[in-house]
Structure 1
Amino acid sequence: MDRSQKEALVAEMNGLFNEANVVVVAQYSGLSVAEMTALRSKMRDAGANFKVTKNRLARLALEGTDYGSLSDKLKGPVGIAYSDDPVAAPKVVMEYAKANDKFVVIGGAMGATELDPEGVKSLASLPSLDELRGKLVGLVQAPATKIAGVLQAPAGQLARVLSAKAEQG
């Protein structure tokens, strides 16, 4: 890779980090190509990405972003997971780390807030943005259906009373 390609890669990664809402750093030493491909596939399905690059280039790309504090975690064979959804990347990374002991989460960051492995784990336990939207829609719809039920109840009771009187008389 020549200098111009490296500069282009650093610029591209810098743009990705500026747009990402969360970044997670993990060691992947000992994983096979098939395992890495499976991880990348899971990340794509969740709307996140996993990138492996030279640590020096990643450090340069992190400069000038909110995630500059992660530079000291880039030692050895590490990969960087990132996503727009603050829960997507941590959730996939933590699930993969549970299933594969060769994959170890080092830390991460959400904006300017640096996270240790426990912080990443707690972030992964939160519901995703789509799940929260679904719950919110359910909460908004619930009162409307309850109001409709309450408004229909007196009319139904009145109809049953009139029907009973008609049968008696």
Structure 2
Amino acid sequence: MPSQSVLEQKKAIVAELSERLKNSVTGVVVSYQGINTEDDTKLRKELRENNVKYTVVKNTLLSRACEEAGLDELKPVLEGTTALATSDSEYAAAARILCGYAKDHDNFKVKSGYLDGAVVDMDTIVSLSKLPTRDVLLANVLGAFQAPIAAFARVMQAVVDEGGFDACLEKKAAEAAPAEEAPAAE
């Protein structure tokens, strides 16, 4: 039987994992078997740069943390080598990085994941992995908001370049007058 101090350490780890699962918006469980140290270091660096917390965990401890966090549906995939990647703010970062990494490394497998406290299927994880980064999405939204304003500004600049509103009306009237006379000449 393990000593009391070992049990206390394990309880603390389970409590920490449980809080991490509860407080994160998304998480991905992977099997990291067969990756070398150099690749693992690169992966961890990329995850860190995207504010994703990545740790290797024991299956039994993660299983108990899943029970406490209400993510029991993750338990069936907890076998073999297991690592957990969680993000407190970015929904797609962990899935995007880990699914991309899994494409390039045969032994590295995405097992499961969760989103807003609910376990999701692999199709959802793959869909998340295909989303662009938060900055790209914000740039697209800003571009969509800015497009009508920019088009209006271009029209107004064209009016100014033509000599003002009255000059534009005169020019349009002059262009329309020959067109009206042409059918009468036939």
TM-score (norm 2): 0.77
Establish whether residue 92 from structure 1 lines up as the match of residue 97 from structure 2. yes
Establish whether residue 33 from structure 1 lines up as the match of residue 32 from structure 2. no
Equivalent of 1:76 in 74, 80, 85: 80
Residue by residue over 1:33-79, the C-alpha shift from the partner in whole angstroms, topping out at 9 and shown as x without a partner, is 33322221121122212211111111121223253321221111111
Establish whether residue 114 from structure 1 lines up as the match of residue 119 from structure 2. yes
Gaps of 5+ in 2: 168-186
Residue by residue over 1:115-168, the C-alpha shift from the partner in whole angstroms, topping out at 9 and shown as x without a partner, is 333331121011222221111111112222221222222122126x6xxxxxxx
Alignment match, 1:54: 58
Alignment match, 1:165: none
1-structure distance, mates of 2:70, 2:92: 17
Matching of residues 1-169 of structure 1 within 5 Å = 2-83=6-87, 84-158=89-163
2-structure distance, mates of 1:52, 1:114: 19
Identity of aligned residues (%): 31
Q: Are the aligned partners of 1:66 and 1:111 in contact in 2 as well (CA < 8 Å)?
A: no
1-structure distance, mates of 2:93, 2:43: 13
TM-score (norm 1): 0.84
Q: 1:155 to 1:31 in 2, by over 3 A?
A: closer
